[in-house]
Amino acid sequence: MTESTDQDVNGFHYFRTQVYANLSGGEKLSQVYDNWAEYYTKQTGSVGYSGPANLAALASDVIRDKSSRILDAASGTGMVGEELKRRGFTNIDALDPSQGSLDKSKEHQSYTEYICDTLDEHQTTVPDSHYDAVVMCGAFGIPGHVSDACFPELIRITKPGGHIMITMSTKVSEDWNDKLEAAIQSHVQQGSWEVVDDRWITYHEHDTINEKAKVPILRVVKK
Ligand SMILES: C[S@@+](CC[C@H](N)C(=O)[O-])C[C@H]1O[C@@H](n2cnc3c(N)ncnc32)[C@H](O)[C@@H]1O
């Protein structure tokens, strides 16, 4: 665990306020993450952000083959990818609209490809059925970030039989989580994926905070 200083904690609150001031997303939000990139990993660590490490641990439970091709979607500075690499995975790509965050993540050399793009209703340059698994931490449920609009794209880029794992924090509004659950079920009904399991991870733990996240484990069935 990173040692916490007042400066880190204050820095974290400063940047989080900037994120919340740009909840319409787009270029301005990416600029906030570009500016935060240098400090992000240390500052979020100093306030007990453990979602990335715990999502990687869960993914490592589900994905048996260490050479599986994995996309860390909304990768930020690469906290999930770094932990997957530490657990022996060798074939991980990063995708994020913040070029500054992608550049910062190059320092730990966890990724093969760096894709600067958003996930939403548009089609990325990723080929069809490219990944064995897609993992995403900390991007669902914050307005202006990632919504269920990207589910068809996640399904398109994942191989049949491959897994998609996304964190859904309990701190996200009930309305938002209800909408996500409905979207997940709608793709179940269309036969695009099945829910293999709903797992829970510790997402954020610090002083009086004990935040969990639900991680549905989705297995792509067909396109
Ligand atoms: C709170 S950070 C989480 C980063 C990393 N996954 C982690 O857990 O540390 C949210 C990330 O989502 C990215 N993001 C925002 N909108 C996005 C979108 N539409 N598609 C993909 N990533 C997006 C941001 O650039 C930012 O890096």
CATH number of domain containing 188: 3.40.50.150
Q: What is the pLDDT of residues 110-143, one digit of tens each?
A: 999 999 999 999 999 999 999 999 999 999 877 7
Ligand 1 pocket test target in 38, 105, 146 with most atoms within 8 Å of CB:
146
More confidently predicted of 72 and 25: 72
Q: Which range among 12-16, 49-53, 211-215 shows the weakest confidence by mean pLDDT? A: 12-16
User: Does 1 fall in a domain?
Assistant: no
Same domain, 174 and 101: yes
Q: 63 with 157, same domain?
A: yes
Q: Which residues line ligand 1 (CB under 6 A)?
A: 25, 30, 33, 51-52, 74-76, 79-80, 96-98, 101, 118-120, 137-139, 145-146
Question: Which residues lie closer than 8 Å to 206 by C-beta, 6 or more apart?
Answer: 47, 48
d(CA 78, CA 55): 12
61 and 127 fall within a common domain:
yes
> What's the domain range around 10?
6-46
Q: Is residue 208 in a domain?
A: yes
- In whole angstroms, give the CA distance from residue 33 to residue 167: 19
| Contact criterion met (CB below 8 Å) for 111 and 81 | yes
User: Does residue 30 sit in the same domain as residue 60?
Assistant: no
- Among 105, 145, 150, 171, which is best to mutate for testing ligand 1, by the most ligand atoms less than 8 A from CB? 145
Question: What does the alpha-carbon distance between residue 216 and residue 23 come to, in Å, rounded to a whole number?
Answer: 25
Please give the model's pTM, rounded to 2 decimal places. Answer: 0.96
pLDDT at 221: 96
